[in-house]
């Protein structure tokens, strides 16, 4: 049974084209057994009608703070007390800014201030708006206030732009909520604030309200760690693509390990079947170009970048509009490929790059290829592993690695190595971060001069 069964959810809908997805989201939440009541901003009603949401939820949709009938019973306070969960999807740049500022100028923002529920939001806006420092600052403020962020994804947007800012798909939002509740069962259903009948029995404690705030302690406290994970897919036609065997397990293990050490973690993942770890902001992408856009959107306040994803080196010069058909009499197919952008190099060649860790999955000459990549891409640390070893690497639960970095002198000839023996990927991730920490703290000028 879904953990959402019996949960009382206020679904907030703000203005944006992604509001059409909220109808599907409401239906899926009801299907999972949740009791759903919808609150819409004035702008949201320009994109989807309250009648649609009322038909899907079986409940009257609330749209006005100053509704005389509702306000007779302090309706916004009643609704805030009723909710176990407040979910805003889509969350526009405007509503995020107002929430971050503590404003209460409509029904949605007012009940959010009054609610003691677990709070989630799914951002949705143009990629330029999402990457703007003001939006990133507001998102960070909301995380500090206890809001858990779902997405956004990266990809093609309604306006024709490509980049971060797409609202997560409704199915992914429901799955993420169910996973979060399963991973935090002790906060599921709320304890009363005290034994007095004046308090609502479903209002969470302050600790429960802050359950999703960034961890305050640990060696990486205060750090924003960005991690890429999984494969990318490069479309050939609408039904075929080029990809690789990466499962994403190593990148997800690193995200959990960084979170446990107090970091605020952004996990940018290619298509994998793994659930989002609790307390981690996940961005889903498909192609290398989408991953680059998502990475660029995080770098303004990134302290540590770990490029664990297996990014495709090439993509189709032109993706076929329709499925390619076999040509009678032909025994070969020629695909014209062009080089994808080098995401790691794009990070390290910035004017002020973050501390950067790269990965090298090799099948032969591990040390030579890792050393070349370390210097050529100006990495602070590289994690090399032999994916040809049975039981290790792609798709496996275990892994082993050799860590390489330039010595304190910065000489390209003076490379230090450290071997991590085979172990579970979660344990390997912890060992890798433990080894990385002194290097990060020193942040030695180990990068070689920029490649010509």
Which residues carry a binding-site annotation for CTP? 307-309, 313, 323, 341-344, 359, 373, 377
As a whole number of angstroms, the distance between CA 73 and CA 448 comes to 67
Report the first-to-last Cα separation within the chain, whole angstroms.
58
Give the burial class of 437: count Cβ atoms within 10 A of its Cβ; 0-12 exposed, 13-18 middle, 19 or more buried.
middle
**Closest Cα to residue 180, out of 282, 110, 260, 108?**
282
Helices (H) and strands (E) in the chain, counts: 15, 19
Q: Which of 112, 119, 159, 223 is catalytic?
A: 159
Sign of CA dihedral 198, 87, 170, 298: negative
Cα-based distances in Å from 147 to 122, 123, 292: 10, 12, 26
SS (HEC) of 308-359: CCECCCEEECCCCCCCCCCCCCCCCCCCCEEECCCHHHHHHCCCCCCEEEEE
Q: Please name the helix (run of DSSP H) or strand (run of DSSP E) that holds residue 19, with its range, or none.
A: helix 19-31
Are 16 and 47 in contact by the 8 Å Cβ rule? The answer is yes
159 is an active site residue: yes
As a whole number of angstroms, the distance between CA 423 and CA 228 comes to 21
Calculate the CA 430 to chain-centre distance. Answer: 20
Q: Please name the helix (run of DSSP H) or strand (run of DSSP E) that holds residue 114, with its range, or none.
A: helix 107-114
Q: Which residues contact 12 (CB under 8 A, 6 or more apart)?
A: 38, 39, 40, 41, 86, 87, 88, 89, 91, 95, 108, 112
As a whole number of angstroms, the distance between CA 21 and CA 429 comes to 36
User: Please, how many CA atoms are within 13 Å of residue 225, restricted to the half-sphere of its CB?
Assistant: 32
Are 234 and 243 in contact by the 8 Å Cβ rule? The answer is yes
As a whole number of angstroms, the distance between CA 76 and CA 12 comes to 13
**Closest Cα to residue 363, out of 393, 333, 340?**
393
Catalytic machinery residues: 159
């Amino acid at each position: 049974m879904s953990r959402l069964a019996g949960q009382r959810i206020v679904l907030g809908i703000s203005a944006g084209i992604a509001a059409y997805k909220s109808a599907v989201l409401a239906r899926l939440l009801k299907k999972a057994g949740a009791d759903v009541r919808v609150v819409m901003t004035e702008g949201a009603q320009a994109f989807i009608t309250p009648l649609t949401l009322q038909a899907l939820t079986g409940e009257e949709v609330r749209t006005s703070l100053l509704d005389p009938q509702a306000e007779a019973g302090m309706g916004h306070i009643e609704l805030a007390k009723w909710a176990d969960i407040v979910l805003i999807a889509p969350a526009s740049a405007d509503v995020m800014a107002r929430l971050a500022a503590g404003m209460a100028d409509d029904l949605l923002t007012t009940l959010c201030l009054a609610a003691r529920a677990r709070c989630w939001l799914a951002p949705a806006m143009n990629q330029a708006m999402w990457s703007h420092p003001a939006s990133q600052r507001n998102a960070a403020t909301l995380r500090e206030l206890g809001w858990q962020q779902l997405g956004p994804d990266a990809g093609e947007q309604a306006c024709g732009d490509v980049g971060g800012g797409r609202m997560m798909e409704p199915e992914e939002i429901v799955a993420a909520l169910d996973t979060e509740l399963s991973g935090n069962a002790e906060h599921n259903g709320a304890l009363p604030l005290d034994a007095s009948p004046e308090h609502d029995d479903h209002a969470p404690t302050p600790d429960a309200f802050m359950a999703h705030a960034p961890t305050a302690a640990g060696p990486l406290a205060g750090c924003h760690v960005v991690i890429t994970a999984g494969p990318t897919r490069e479309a050939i036609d609408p039904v075929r693509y080029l990809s690789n065997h990466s499962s994403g397990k190593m990148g997800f293990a690193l995200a959990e390990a960084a979170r446990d050490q107090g970091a605020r973690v952004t996990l940018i993942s290619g298509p994998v079947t793994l659930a989002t770890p609790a307390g981690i902001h996940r961005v889903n992408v498909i192609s290398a170009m989408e991953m680059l856009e998502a990475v660029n959107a995080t770098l303004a306040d990134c302290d540590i970048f770990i490029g664990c994803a297996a990014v495709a080196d090439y993509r189709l010069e032109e993706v076929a509009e329709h499925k390619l058909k076999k040509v009678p009499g032909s025994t070969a197919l020629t695909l014209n490929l062009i080089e994808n952008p080098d995401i790691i190099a794009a990070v390290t060649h910035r004017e002020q790059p973050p501390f950067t860790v790269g990965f090298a999955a090799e099948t032969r000459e591990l040390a030579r290829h890792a050393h070349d990549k370390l210097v050529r891409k100006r990495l602070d640390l590289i994690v090399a592993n032999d994916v040809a070893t049975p039981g290790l690497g792609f798709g496996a639960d275990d892994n082993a690695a050799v860590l390489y970095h330039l010595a304190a002198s910065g000489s390209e000839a003076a490379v230090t190595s450290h071997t991590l023996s085979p172990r579970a990927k979660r344990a390997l991730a912890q060992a890798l971060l433990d080894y990385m920490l002194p290097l990060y703290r020193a942040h030695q000028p180990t990068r070689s001069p920029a490649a010509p």
